[in-house]
Amino acid sequence: MRMKVKAAVVNAVNGPYEFEELELQELQANEVIVKLVASGICHSDEALRVGDAEFPLPAVLGHEGAGIVEQVGAGVRDFQVGDQVVMAYNSCGTCPSCRTGHPSSCVSWTTLNMSGARADGSPIFKKLDGTPVSNFFTQSSFSTYTITNVNNLIKVDDDADLRLVGPLGCGFLTGAGTVVNGLQVKVGDSIVIFGTGAVGLGALMMAKVEGCATIIAVDIHDSRLDISKKLGATHTINSKTENLAERIADITNGVGVNFSIDTTGVSAVMKAAIDVLGIGGVTAPIAVTPNSMEMNSFMDLVLLNRSVKGILMGDAIPQLAIPKLIQLHKEGKFAFDQLVKFYDFEQINEASADSNSGVTIKPILLIDKTYRQNEPLPQ
């Protein structure tokens, strides 16, 4: 008998999350069933919900899930029932990119994570009337249970609190990985981070860990900039009330910065992230956005040996990076717990709205409230 689950379904572009009973399909050899404990909400979920990125609907979104292995497929060897896991993105594991340590550049990445189905085209979820429901990232964490691929999974220690660590699977991984793997900053470098949401602050915290001497946070909300200071920004700029170019010139003695990251996806801001670069500088526009930017390739890039670099998922290997981020958190060097707010699963529309408005930096949905119910929520 196939398992029935409770899931938050998006049935139409810009529609709300609607709770429905769905049916999990047959488990394949390289898959596991995960009982979700909690899931972060990411702006990528919102981009799909409102149609900024094309995706087949109806769908169960969510891609920052953490839970407990409930059942394993016949071919699974490295996981067993009861394991605590965080879920990230899927990759084939065998293409040249995967083999050389760049699974986010997997030749099948789009098919595995954005097609809404398994690699063979079959669905993971169906409605009770038989209608296929798309999955996201081969994960779909906005559900009480889900089927996911072993390549999505990161085993975490039993002392890890699954109510907290799910967002390490995308937002914080992307920010931190962009700094370490994509830009490969060095001790003493300078960096400007545009947008201080989860991705931007993940980048900011990792820039501090890596020894950047100048870390400039740019936002239009003073409250976010205050948080940035606490987490390691050496300078903050409110680009709504201050002259960005003048402030950057003043901070860097007129030479510009080595690196910049844009997490906003706003056309003018992506261009500004180029303009603040010094000679040989590199910018990474990493937001999921329908917007584009205009630039003059010679004046903006060639003349000053600048570069624009696309970096997906922080070019990170989740199975290596996420345990390191958990360890950094234990050491007080990656304090992402200061950025989260917990919501009941049934409050998903409220949590999504709070994320969109900026009220909450990183919402986390509590899906299984029996997990560690006698322990206080992580602070």
Instruction: State the pLDDT at residue 53.
Output: 83
* β-bridge partners, 340: 362
Q: Which domains does the chain have, with CATH numbers?
A: 4-169+335-366 (3.90.180.10), 175-312 (3.40.50.720)
Instruction: State the pLDDT at residue 1.
Output: 64
**How buried is 303 (Cβ within 10 angstroms: 0-12 exposed, 13-18 middle, 19+ buried)?**
exposed
Strand arrangement of the beta sheet that strand 307-308 belongs to = 235-238, 214-219, 190-194, 257-262, 277-285, 307-308
247-275 pLDDT, tens digit per residue, is 999 999 999 999 999 999 999 999 999 99
Q: Which residues of the chain have pLDDT under 70?
A: 1, 379
Instruction: State the pLDDT at residue 242.
Output: 96
**Contact yes or no for 311/284 (Cβ under 8 A):** yes
> How far is the C-alpha of 126 from the C-alpha of 131, rounded, in Å?
5
Q: 134 φ, ψ to 5°?
A: -70, 150
What residue ranges in 53-130 does DSSP mark as E strands? 59-60, 65-72, 84-87, 125-127
Per DSSP, 181 falls in state I
3-state helix, strand, coil in the chain (%, to 5): 35, 25, 40
- Is the backbone peptide bond immediately before 58 cis, with ω within 30 degrees of 0? yes
Instruction: State the pLDDT at residue 358.
Output: 86
Q: What is the pTM of this model?
A: 0.94
What residue ranges in 17-109 does DSSP mark as E strands? 17-24, 31-40, 59-60, 65-72, 84-87
Instruction: State the pLDDT at residue 378.
Output: 86
Instruction: State the pLDDT at residue 2.
Output: 86
Cβ-based neighbours of 131, under 8 Å, separated by 6 or more: 58
